[in-house]
Amino acid sequence: MGETASSIVTAAVLVIGDEILSGRTKDKNSGYIADVLTAVGIDLREVRVVPDIEAEIVAAVNALRKRYDYLFTTGGIGPTHDDITAESVAKAFGVPIAVDPRARAMLLTRIAEKDLNEARLRMARVPQGAELIANKISAAPGFNIGNVYVMAGVPAVMQVMLDEVIPTLRTGAKLLSVSIDTGLREGDLGTPYGEIQKQHPDVMMGSYPFFNEKGFFTRLVLRARDAEKLSTAQRDVEAMVERLRAEKKAAV
Amino acid sequence: MGETASSIVTAAVLVIGDEILSGRTKDKNSGYIADVLTAVGIDLREVRVVPDIEAEIVAAVNALRKRYDYLFTTGGIGPTHDDITAESVAKAFGVPIAVDPRARAMLLTRIAEKDLNEARLRMARVPQGAELIANKISAAPGFNIGNVYVMAGVPAVMQVMLDEVIPTLRTGAKLLSVSIDTGLREGDLGTPYGEIQKQHPDVMMGSYPFFNEKGFFTRLVLRARDAEKLSTAQRDVEAMVERLRAEKKAAV
């Protein structure tokens, strides 16, 4: 939409876990990551949720890492047999996986050596060539390989890992946005709003209906990377809303 | 995992909307649909979230409808220019789209004829050959074409549409589940739990860590379609948990 390619940085999120697909656990991580990426100027373009099945994880990692600048995964890096994300990512990159001495040392900051059993040691296994992502809550690290960032599924742990990752990322021009409450129903404004969108191709114009006990209403959201283009479009949309409200009042 | 193919019915959810990817709106629909599908015996296997871009919607609809028994979409069927789901689904199926007289009649149950403007009439456009899905809240229908069910994005409206759809679906053997609170950390049980999983290949054994002010704990969830296999596995897991807790107590 008129921006240079380098000013746009894209990302996808891959949520890994049967418990999300069964409904037992509600995914809060993708919405949280969406908020953070938007705030720093990275466009989240796709989210996928897949089960704890190696072939599914490998296929999704490879599809998404090739298509977007960054891929963030959540879930499946604990010590139990159903935690297969690290192995799957290694397979996606075609590299071996082994216990990383740095990761083992991180675990030992929280776990006594005698308790570092086979299961816990699984959490120190990372694909060859990966960099570790610190975990200030429970020590077991995430990791980064290529443009893929592998994080925990427990939201609080994912969030401290994301804090580590964000400052290291390339970010693009931030998407600015304004929100306009119209007091109108979507059907009242659909056609003229669509006309205004055509006149402002560099501004993304969304329309979000909602309802409450007073009736159906619409919030319009305009988004653009250029502040001037955004405010010009905003002026046009606000004028449209005022006109439609006046017409509606006159018709009553 | 030992079931006959016909006893398993699979599904995917496709969430359509820029507002989910920007974080502005948090997706509640996919978690709700997950709960309902699990309850009726349909396995949700994948969720995707894509932006309001026709090529993305077409590609995702075609990928998912071919792979799973059912595909449920949410979002993008309102009256504004950014509502492009119906057109995109028509394109995915390679059929024309036009105003459906049945859908128009549904709109007229709520909207006066004089208010049925061009924008509102967009909500009566459905792909050729589609069946309508009633909307008890705001009249504008969803639709079903092939194995794809196109529903609204507003959660309350999506939910009444899903109520219409569910009784018409083929359902499989329900997945039964039991949940076991262990009072143990994941790393304490990972290895023996993995051994038990190997002995019970028809039972899916998950492990979900969480933490609170008292420390780190683990909930184990066993899922199977066969009640007897499930209870045999449950007995083995509970015996393991008791043994590990006794060992832990003895070590203190």
The model's pLDDT over A70-101, given as tens digits with 9 standing for 90+, comes to: 999 999 999 999 999 999 999 999 999 999 99
- Strands B131-133 and B142-145, sheet pairing: antiparallel
Last residue of a domain, one of B168, B192, B217: B168
Cβ distance B123 to A187 less than 8 Å, yes or no, reads yes
**Number of domains making up chain A:** 2
What span, in angstroms and rounded, lies between the C-alpha atoms of B212 and B229? 33
Contact in structure between B122 and B103 (CB atoms under 8 Å): no
Same domain, A146 and A180: no
What span, in angstroms and rounded, lies between the C-alpha atoms of A86 and A76? 8
Cβ distance A154 to B211 less than 8 Å, yes or no, reads yes
From residue A118, alpha-carbon distances to A45, A100, A191, A212 in Å are 38, 14, 63, 54
Of B44, B49, B211, the CB nearest to A46: B49
How many CB atoms sit inside 10 A of residue B239's CB? 11
Whether residue A247 lies within 8 A of chain B, CB to CB, comes out as: no
Residue B154 CA to its chain's centroid (Å): 15
- pLDDT of residue A188 exceeding 80: yes
Is the torsion defined by CA of A231, A237, A240, A246 positive or negative?
A: negative
Last residue of a domain, one of A168, A203, A223: A168
What span, in angstroms and rounded, lies between the C-alpha atoms of B144 and B130? 5
What span, in angstroms and rounded, lies between the C-alpha atoms of A76 and B206? 10
- Could you tell me the strand order of the sheet in which B176-181 lies? B176-181, B215-224, B204-212
* 41-70 in chain A: CB under 8 A from chain B: 43-52, 56
What span, in angstroms and rounded, lies between the C-alpha atoms of B97 and B121? 13
Same domain, B117 and B231: no
Residues of A within 8 A of B36 (CB-CB) are 23
Last residue of a domain, one of B138, B168, B198: B168
Side-chain half-sphere CA neighbours of A191 within 13 A: 10
Cβ distance B119 to A186 less than 8 Å, yes or no, reads yes
The percent of residues in chain A predicted with pLDDT above 70, rounded, is: 98
| CATH number of the domain residue B228 falls in | 3.30.70.600
What span, in angstroms and rounded, lies between the C-alpha atoms of B155 and B86? 18
- pLDDT of residue A209 exceeding 60: yes
Cβ distance B24 to A221 less than 8 Å, yes or no, reads yes
Same domain, A135 and A232: no
What pLDDT, in 10s, does the model give residues A224-239? 999 999 999 999 999 9
What span, in angstroms and rounded, lies between the C-alpha atoms of B250 and B151? 57
Contact in structure between B244 and B184 (CB atoms under 8 Å): yes
Residues of A within 8 A of B20 (CB-CB) are 31, 34, 47
What span, in angstroms and rounded, lies between the C-alpha atoms of B187 and B173? 33
What span, in angstroms and rounded, lies between the C-alpha atoms of B67 and B81? 30
Which domain covers residue B196, as residue numbers? 176-251
Contact in structure between B112 and B102 (CB atoms under 8 Å): no
Per-residue model confidence (pLDDT) at position A192: 96
Using left for φ > 0, alpha for ψ between -120 and 50, and beta otherwise, residue A198 falls in alpha
Same domain, B147 and B28: yes
Same domain, B66 and B160: yes
Output the tens digit of pLDDT for each of chain B's 252 residues: 444 556 899 999 999 999 999 999 999 999 999 999 999 999 999 999 999 999 999 999 999 999 999 999 999 999 999 999 999 999 999 999 999 999 999 999 999 999 999 999 999 999 999 999 999 998 999 999 999 999 999 999 999 999 999 999 999 988 899 999 999 999 999 999 999 999 999 999 999 988 888 888 999 999 999 999 999 999 999 999 999 999 988 887
Query: Can you tell me the ipTM of this complex?
Result: 0.91
Contact in structure between A197 and A156 (CB atoms under 8 Å): no
Q: Which helix (H) or strand (E) holds B72?
A: strand B70-74
Cβ distance B20 to A34 less than 8 Å, yes or no, reads yes
What span, in angstroms and rounded, lies between the C-alpha atoms of A195 and A186? 14
Same domain, B48 and B18: yes
Long-range contacts of A166-173 (CB under 8 A, 24+ apart): A166/A36, A166/A40, A169/A9, A169/A40, A169/A42, A169/A70, A170/A9, A170/A69, A171/A9, A171/A40, A171/A41, A171/A42, A172/A6, A172/A7, A172/A8, A172/A9, A172/A41, A172/A42, A172/A43, A173/A3, A173/A7, A173/A8, A173/A41, A173/A225
Contact in structure between B227 and B176 (CB atoms under 8 Å): yes
Contact in structure between A73 and A64 (CB atoms under 8 Å): no
Same domain, A99 and A218: no
Q: Which helix (H) or strand (E) holds A209?
A: strand A204-212
What span, in angstroms and rounded, lies between the C-alpha atoms of B205 and A13? 25
- Return the closest-CA partner of residue B71 out of B176, B142, B120: B142
Residues of A within 8 A of B123 (CB-CB) are 187
* 85-144 in chain A: CB under 8 A from chain B: 111, 115, 117-120, 122-123, 137-138
Cβ distance B119 to A46 less than 8 Å, yes or no, reads no
| CATH number of the domain residue B105 falls in | 3.40.980.10
Same domain, B113 and B230: no
What span, in angstroms and rounded, lies between the C-alpha atoms of B154 and B28? 9
Same domain, B99 and B182: no
Same domain, B11 and B107: yes
Same domain, B41 and B150: yes
Same domain, A75 and A164: yes
Cβ distance A23 to B37 less than 8 Å, yes or no, reads yes
